[in-house]
Amino acid sequence: MERKKLTGSELLQELSALPGWSLYEGKLHKLFTFPDFVKAFGFMCEVALVAQAMDHHPDWSNAYNRVTIDLVTHDLGGISTFDTELARRIENLLS
Amino acid sequence: MERKKLTGSELLQELSALPGWSLYEGKLHKLFTFPDFVKAFGFMCEVALVAQAMDHHPDWSNAYNRVTIDLVTHDLGGISTFDTELARRIENLLS
Amino acid sequence: MERKKLTGSELLQELSALPGWSLYEGKLHKLFTFPDFVKAFGFMCEVALVAQAMDHHPDWSNAYNRVTIDLVTHDLGGISTFDTELARRIENLLS
Amino acid sequence: MERKKLTGSELLQELSALPGWSLYEGKLHKLFTFPDFVKAFGFMCEVALVAQAMDHHPDWSNAYNRVTIDLVTHDLGGISTFDTELARRIENLLS
């Protein structure tokens, strides 16, 4: 996969195929809610593995059963193909 | 919960309510299979959290998408109420 | 351990024994930096286990090699004995 | 890195540079001991990330503070360059 910043129209098209994801402060953003901390952190372990394998890591936070993920490619100055690919792989973990 | 070794009849009754678990080499035993390593290790992270909270830890192994769990209470010399409780909590993670 | 909100003077005394921790927006706060994501997330796995065993969970975030931890006891409306105890156990993980 | 089965002499040379690793039942083998379960499982989380990034996974087991790792490349019928590379990366986690 080519690693490149998305144009505005590419980004809008990608967003339409990523349910629950939004643009927030220039990042691809989603809040995930789980029954409890155990399920939330199990999800984080899975995301960590997927992210490390891509060598592309989220900005994310957790409070008990909630996990907030923000994706951006700092060195490209915006949202890139790697961010939307990581978002897709994160969605696949939950399907 | 009282921490005590189960009698033979108690163990048989508990086993009947734990689908897929068997007695193997004196331990409460089950093999779990997942689609891939990511899902297998995510499950292990959840089990680790549940086990640490009980201060009761499994003997377990992993190879790619397979996780084998063996439960026994070494200091009581057999399968205890903590083993069947941990087995139940592990099952709940997957329900 | 008693679970109770700390008085101002108790909190100042506790803080003096927790190197690198500060008060930030009403929470007990520290930023941890690691060589890379792998070490940062390994640390998070350890903290998750410690927190789950206490049934007391951090508000925390991660970006690559940085982990930010904020501790507060929401239902007590401030920083409690559980927050300082969790901070101590987190420090012990790194000693 | 080329993915290929090691010859006997290559394997012996590699082993001499991997302290604590041995050949056991045709696999590259090492037992790691930690102070407790939390540190053992934190190590496993780090190894899991490293392994997933290589798409090369260990056969491993854990009991409380002990982690046993066995490395072999099943489809090549022996120990490969990926096994020794994974062993090196695991050692680096502990250095």
pLDDT at C1: 87
Min CA distance, D44 vs chain C (Å)?
8
**Which residues on D lie below 8 Å from C45 (Cβ)?**
41-42, 45
Residue type, B14: E
Residue C11 predicted with pLDDT over 90 = yes
- Determine contact: C43 vs chain D, CB below 8 A: yes
Nearest C-alpha in A relative to C57: A64
- Determine contact: D43 vs chain C, CB below 8 A: yes
Contacting residues for D87 by C-beta, under 8 A, at least 6 apart: D18, D21, D28, D30, D71
Mutation for testing the B interface, residue in C38, C52, C55, C57 having most B CBs under 10 Å: C52
| Window 2-31 of D, Cβ < 8 Å to B | none
Token pair for A93: 């973990």
What is the arithmetic mean of pLDDT over D41-45?
98
Q: Which value, in Å, is the radius of gyration of the alpha carbons in chain D?
A: 13
A33: burial class by Cβ within 10 Å (0-12, 13-18, 19+)?
A: exposed
Residues B57, B20, A37, CA angle at the centre, nearest 5°?
Answer: 45
Residue A8 predicted with pLDDT over 90 = yes
pLDDT at B38: 98
Q: Which of A58, A60, A72, A57 is nearest to A26 (CA)?
A: A72
**Which residues on A lie below 8 Å from C58 (Cβ)?**
62-63
Min CA distance, A87 vs chain C (Å)?
16
Min CA distance, D92 vs chain C (Å)?
11
CB within 8 Å: B61 and D64: no
What is the arithmetic mean of pLDDT over D84-93?
98
- Determine contact: A38 vs chain B, CB below 8 A: yes
B–C CB contacts, 8 A cutoff, strictly below: 16
A–C CB contacts, 8 A cutoff, strictly below: 39
Q: How many CA atoms lie within 13 A of A94 on its CB side?
A: 15
pLDDT digits (tens, 9 = 90+) for C41-92: 999 999 999 999 999 999 999 999 999 999 999 999 999 999 999 999 999 9
Token pair for B67: 């996780």
ipTM of the complex: 0.96
Residue ranges of chain B with pLDDT lower than 70? Answer: none
pLDDT at C67: 98
Band of pLDDT at residue A35, cut at 50, 70 and 90: very high
Residue D1 predicted with pLDDT over 90 = no
A–D CB contacts, 8 A cutoff, strictly below: 16
pLDDT at B1: 87
Token pair for B3: 């921490």
Residue D37 predicted with pLDDT over 90 = yes
Phi and psi, residue A78, nearest 5°: 170, -170
The dihedral sign for the CA sequence D51, D55, D59, D62: positive
In chain A, % of residues over pLDDT 70: 100
Q: Which of helix, strand or coil describes residue A1?
A: coil
Q: Can you tell me the distance from the alpha carbon of B48 to that of B87, in angstroms, rounded to the nearest whole number? A: 12
Nearest C-alpha in A relative to C64: A57
C44 DSSP 8-state letter: H
Tell me the C-alpha to C-alpha distance, in Å, between residue D56 and each of A66, B63, D59, D81: 31, 11, 10, 11
pLDDT at A1: 87
Min CA distance, A41 vs chain C (Å)?
8
pLDDT at A81: 98
Entry pTM: 0.98
Q: Can you tell me the distance from the alpha carbon of B82 to that of C15, in angstroms, rounded to the nearest whole number? A: 38
Contacting residues for D51 by C-beta, under 8 A, at least 6 apart: B37, D57, D58, D86
- Determine contact: D49 vs chain A, CB below 8 A: yes
CB within 8 Å: A57 and C37: yes
Residue A26 predicted with pLDDT over 90 = yes
Residues D39, A41, A73, CA angle at the centre, nearest 5°?
Answer: 105
pLDDT at A37: 98
Cα distance from N-terminal residue to C-terminal residue, chain D: 23
CB within 8 Å: B42 and A46: yes
- Determine contact: D38 vs chain A, CB below 8 A: no
Q: Can you tell me the distance from the alpha carbon of D64 to that of D39, in angstroms, rounded to the nearest whole number? A: 10
Q: What is the mean pLDDT of chain D?
A: 97
Residue A56 predicted with pLDDT over 90 = yes
Min CA distance, A40 vs chain B (Å)?
9
Mutation for testing the D interface, residue in B29, B34, B39, B44 having most D CBs under 10 Å: B44
pLDDT at A44: 98
Contacting residues for B73 by C-beta, under 8 A, at least 6 apart: B3, B5, B56, B79, B80, B82, B83
What is the arithmetic mean of pLDDT over A73-84?
97
D5: burial class by Cβ within 10 Å (0-12, 13-18, 19+)?
A: middle
